């Protein structure tokens, strides 16, 4: 089956005024969720990929798109992504009309990085079996092969402090991440952040 990305705002959303750049971000992020699903980088309905909307949409305010909590990544679409602030509040009527909500516990680590790292417009977090296995080893990612060696100097580590990242843990997490784009959350999973979705 061939899937075509709709780069123009569909007619069904015409009663929800939307900047074209927001629609572009929605399409690209939804496509990213589908790619993660295709690759098997999913854990049922859990985990998130968050994307900050560009300033052309928000006039500089920090606003984000996130998957609705309760849907599998394969069910995420450009129009059912939720538009939220750093506290996880829904920001527009399209999101308020959406019966699905934000997973506040899951968004905490994303919000911490989005709030304090101006370069981190996109944050991806996974619990893949392979990723968790590496996160559970004392030595972390062994850079003894062609693939992992390409990540030399790019990987940070954060010790496990509990199932979810709490507010008081945030400064330690940010200090451990520093300016690196990749973070291994020990005994937990993997995280990547960067200035764009790509
Ligand atoms: Zn996690």
The span from the CA of 96 to the CA of 102, in Å, is 11
Cα 53 to averaged position of ligand 1 atoms, centre (Å): 23
Tokens of 110: 């994303």
Predicted confidence at residue 1, as pLDDT, reads 45
Q: How far is the CA of 32 from the centre of ligand 1 (A)?
A: 18
Structural domains in the chain?
Answer: 11-194 (3.40.225.10)
Q: 73 C-alpha to center of ligand 1: Å?
A: 15
Residue 167 is predicted with a pLDDT of 82
Sign of CA dihedral 171, 128, 44, 54: positive
Q: Give the model's pLDDT for residue 3.
A: 53
Write down the pLDDT at residue 30.
98
* Cα 127 to averaged position of ligand 1 atoms, centre (Å): 6
The alpha carbons of the chain give a radius of gyration, in whole angstroms, of 17
Residue 13: per-residue pLDDT: 81
- Distance (angstroms) between ligand 1 centre and the Cα of 190 equals 8
Q: From the CA of 45, how far away is ligand 1's center (Å)?
A: 12
Of 166, 62, 164, 67, which is closest to residue 106 (Cα–Cα)? 164
pTM over the 0.85 mark: yes
Residues (pLDDT < 50) of the chain are 1-2
């Amino acid at each position: 089956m061939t899937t075509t990305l709709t780069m123009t705002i569909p007619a069904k959303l015409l009663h929800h005024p939307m900047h074209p750049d927001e629609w572009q971000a929605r399409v690209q992020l939804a496509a990213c969720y589908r790619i993660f699903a295709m690759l098997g980088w999913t854990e049922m309905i859990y985990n998130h990929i968050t994307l900050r909307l560009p300033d052309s949409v928000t006039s500089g305010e920090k606003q984000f798109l996130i998957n609705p909590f309760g849907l599998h990544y394969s069910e995420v679409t450009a129009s059912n992504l939720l538009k939220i602030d750093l506290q996880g509040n829904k920001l527009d009527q399209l999101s308020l009309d959406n019966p699905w909500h934000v997973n506040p516990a899951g968004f905490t680590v994303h919000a911490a990085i989005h709030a304090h790292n101006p370069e981190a417009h996109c944050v991806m977090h996974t619990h893949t079996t392979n990723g968790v296995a590496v996160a559970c080893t004392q030595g972390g990612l062994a850079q003894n092969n062609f693939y992992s060696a390409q990540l030399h100097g790019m990987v940070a580590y954060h010790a496990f402090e509990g199932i979810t990242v709490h507010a008081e843990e945030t400064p330690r997490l940010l200090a451990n991440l520093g300016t690196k784009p990749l973070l291994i959350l020990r005994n937990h999973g993997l995280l990547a952040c960067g200035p764009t979705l790509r």
